[in-house]
Structure 1
């Protein structure tokens, strides 16, 4: 692929502190990206709130800012450094959220900054629970019975329709933050209130709980020409109901029949294609 001549200076958003769902792999991937950008002659500006990372090595970036990963901090850096591009997809959930906020507020357009890497539309359709559900239904992939809520009372009404237990999944969060399983209305009100507080768009998905099902993951890649491939399959030692971040994961999956493997592999490739993601994508299935 020819080198893009329009990219001269890139602001890279780091992943911040290491937590479940946003661990050291983001730091490693970000460090590799900084190295590749520098080798290509691109000026690299890095913002990370965690100094104990590989990314903050002075050999990997031309300018390093140890600043809070907030909208205001990033705006100040953009105004000072005047990058032409912003790479947010290597900063984990924090990076994606900040990139979306800056793009949707019009700030990036105002200062002539392009969002590179994962496209805004792909981020929205993967992160917004309602859009993701609609996308899966569009390509005929089965989803658990669920509905979107923006208030605690809406959560209660949906749970009564679906039947307890239900699981609360806040939008634009990672690592299970703000979510949980509710077995009755009292638990649901507590969990959904917390989930709505933590979701940047004040949105949660109330989903029928399917604890005990087998949890399978596929890691897939796609390029800008639409070519797709499977990196590997993975099987969680613990069933659905135990968060992946707390579970042992084995690669490749060991207990799938060939029929199930091919079905899930095809589904994962259809999902990354429909979302339009260029790069890596992790697809999780309940079987």
Structure 2
């Protein structure tokens, strides 16, 4: 493979003499080259480099959102530990922190305390990775219990083709490449859906998009917050194309070259209404078996190495297929160990209740067990790690636990959680690290073993 540098790309252009160059279908790196290519006299198809830069400029994009009446999480930028503390004083905790200009959520973290923020700043600005020293830290208020939503769309300058709206299974704060997502969105209210469509149309118009745009939203109740907009094809475009039967990459390419969506509709490439005739789930393939020392907890930094798709008539069936496709075989009976961080206990009740109603026996450490018992959900108590001969790690070694649901927390509990998750992985016991992920697993188990029946082709599904 040739490296994606300006010089190498210009050599290819010189040899091929293309009419124009498409930068929207190769991820972030081609977008970074767009301005230099245009300055070298290369015609960029579709969205201009100026518009691309506008979407990536934090302050200017924030001004655009404000002018359109769109909400964004409060945030700021810091170049030192002291500045980071000042920003947190203004926006409040918890926050999502990350260095600017990194890909894949690298070094991104959700911070719940000033102490954690100090540790993070020392990591970035102390003994640090030379690529990150001096890079600004982007700090945004973390919207707890919010649902993340992804949108892929094509805009031709006047009409918006909404490719699809995807609701993430895991809570906001998990990298979109690691979170499973569902289309059509199962819990999104009609009001929130309308606001998302409005925001997508107005942002695409304001950014002068010609071609693809991906926008990430966080939804809390009926309140919709814009996280970011990327005027390019995202990793979810193939998933949405298979879900709807609309070849988004083809449509977007023709739009970049000057066609309108209406013209493509007349040619039969775009339907009158984009719809998904089933429920589709995209799930991440995670490399824990290859990296036994890596903690299997999900967070803002992407760890997935692939993805699979499950299709069904309901969310439970589709998610069950997606889990199986990703190599995760779920138990249909036995014991479930549950351990929730304090902040997750109120929402974790629904997870515990769901597994109890499915006939599983619950096992929990003393604090979680007391909380469950207080809410009339029986649980067997096991000692914390190292506090008894029959702790959860020993239970896993003995094959007594068939599923682990463990949400991460700080301090010693974080170390215990890592030990539990690694013990589960060592014994091929499925481990879930988010509340919404636990609910989705329960939903797939409720669908029953008959949910995974004979394979059907996409052509059959779209008939």
Q: Give the TM-score range, shorter chain.
A: 0.5 to 0.7
The verdict on how the C-alpha distance between 1:197 and 1:209 changes in structure 2, with shifts beyond 3 A counting, is farther
Residue 136, structure 1, aligned to residue 69, structure 2: no
Mapping of residues 184-263 of structure 1, within 5 Å = 184-190=116-122, 193=125, 197=131, 202-224=135-157, 226-263=158-195
Q: Distance in 2 between matches of 1:228 and 1:249?
A: 22
Q: Distance in 2 between matches of 1:163 and 1:120?
A: 35
Match of 1:74 in 2: 9
Offset at residue 283 of structure 1 (A): 1.7
Q: Deviations over 1:1-50 (max 9, x none)?
A: xxxxxxxxxxxxxxxxxxxxxxxxxxxxxxxxxxxxxxxxxxxxxxxxxx
Match 1:285 to one of 217, 227, 232: 217
Structure 1 counterpart SS, 2:185: coil
Offset at residue 73 of structure 1 (A): 2.9
Structure 1 counterpart SS, 2:9: helix
Structure having the higher Rg: 2
Q: Distance in 2 between matches of 1:100 and 1:262?
A: 34
- Is 271-280 or 79-88 further displaced after alignment? 79-88
Mapping of residues 147-186 of structure 1, within 5 Å = 147-151=76-80, 153-183=82-112, 184-186=116-118
Q: Distance in 2 between matches of 1:276 and 1:140?
A: 18
Q: Distance in 2 between matches of 1:259 and 1:167?
A: 27
8 A contact 1:177–1:198 mirrored in 2: no
Q: Distance in 2 between matches of 1:179 and 1:119?
A: 29
The verdict on how the C-alpha distance between 1:156 and 1:280 changes in structure 2, with shifts beyond 3 A counting, is same
8 A contact 1:128–1:171 mirrored in 2: no
Match of 2:333 in 1: none
Offset at residue 122 of structure 1 (A): 1.9
Structure 2 counterpart SS, 1:259: helix
Q: Distance in 2 between matches of 1:192 and 1:135?
A: 30
Offset at residue 86 of structure 1 (A): 3.0
Residue 97, structure 1, aligned to residue 32, structure 2: yes
What TM-score do you get using the length of structure 1 for normalisation?
A: 0.64
Offset at residue 85 of structure 1 (A): 3.5
What TM-score do you get using the length of structure 2 for normalisation?
A: 0.42
Match of 2:336 in 1: none
8 A contact 1:216–1:284 mirrored in 2: yes
Offset at residue 180 of structure 1 (A): 2.1
8 A contact 1:229–1:269 mirrored in 2: no
> Which consecutive residues of structure 1, in runs of 5 or more, have no partner in the other structure?
1-65
Match 1:119 to one of 18, 36, 48: 48
Match of 1:58 in 2: none
8 A contact 1:155–1:192 mirrored in 2: no
8 A contact 1:218–1:231 mirrored in 2: yes
Q: Deviations over 1:176-228 (max 9, x none)?
A: 134222343323314654799369x944421112232111222222113x111
- Is 139-148 or 150-159 further displaced after alignment? 150-159
The verdict on how the C-alpha distance between 1:85 and 1:261 changes in structure 2, with shifts beyond 3 A counting, is closer
Offset at residue 78 of structure 1 (A): 4.8
Q: Deviations over 1:244-270 (max 9, x none)?
A: 111110001011222222122212211
> Which consecutive residues of structure 2, in runs of 5 or more, have no partner in the other structure?
220-463
The verdict on how the C-alpha distance between 1:85 and 1:229 changes in structure 2, with shifts beyond 3 A counting, is closer
The size of the alignment, in residue pairs, is: 214
Q: Distance in 1 between matches of 2:130 and 2:167?
A: 31
Q: Distance in 2 between matches of 1:202 and 1:92?
A: 22
Match of 1:5 in 2: none
